[in-house]
Amino acid sequence: MAKLVDTSGKISLVLSFHQRSKLITEYEDDINNWIPIDFEVNVFEESYKIYPEVNPSLNLFEINLMFSKLKSSIREMQLTNKFKKVEISTYEFYYELEFVDLTEDDWISCTVWTFEASRTNGNIYDVQRGFRFIVTITSLRDFVNKLEEELNLVLQNPRQKELN
């Protein structure tokens, strides 16, 4: 699981790709291929996650777009010490992410919005919950690398992990 940890070590965003029976990878068009995820924001002692009953998944198009945006901004930060603002949202309204340069060394502001209807399987609706915290470029780069590694494992061996 990929974990993006804030500078205090007390707040984290966890995103993980999984190979469950809902894994769909047989289409040529990435927008029709879906990878199940786990999503969780931990704030000190509290945890906010998308419950398994929701069966959250992202399509490969939005996953690849997320990687492209983040890698481009990370590369820009390493070359110019400037981080291009990144906004990421999901088609199924699970969450929105925003990353903004803070002009402090290598610090980046991360804002996470959860859509409570999706997160709670409809128990809470018409509400978004937001969290803003500071991460380093190193933490963001490690998060992206781990997430990409996990995705590659899922895509390389889709049937193997379904059986586990």
The domain of 38 spans: 2-163
Residue 70 has pLDDT above 90, yes or no: yes
> Confidence class of residue 136 from pLDDT cuts 50, 70 and 90?
very high
Residue partners of 156: CB distance under 8 A and separation at least 6: none
Instruction: Say what the pLDDT of residue 21 is.
Output: 58
Instruction: Say what the pLDDT of residue 163 is.
Output: 42
Q: Which percentage of the chain shows pLDDT scores above 90?
A: 60
Which CATH number fits the domain that encloses residue 68? 2.30.31
Number of separate domains in the chain? 1
3-state class (DSSP) for residue 54: helix
- Please choose, from the candidates 16, 13, 4, the residue with its C-alpha nearest in 3D space to the C-alpha of residue 112: 13
Query: Using CA atoms, how far apart are residues 3 and 13, in angstroms rounded to an integer?
Result: 6
The better pLDDT of the pair 10, 164 is held by 10
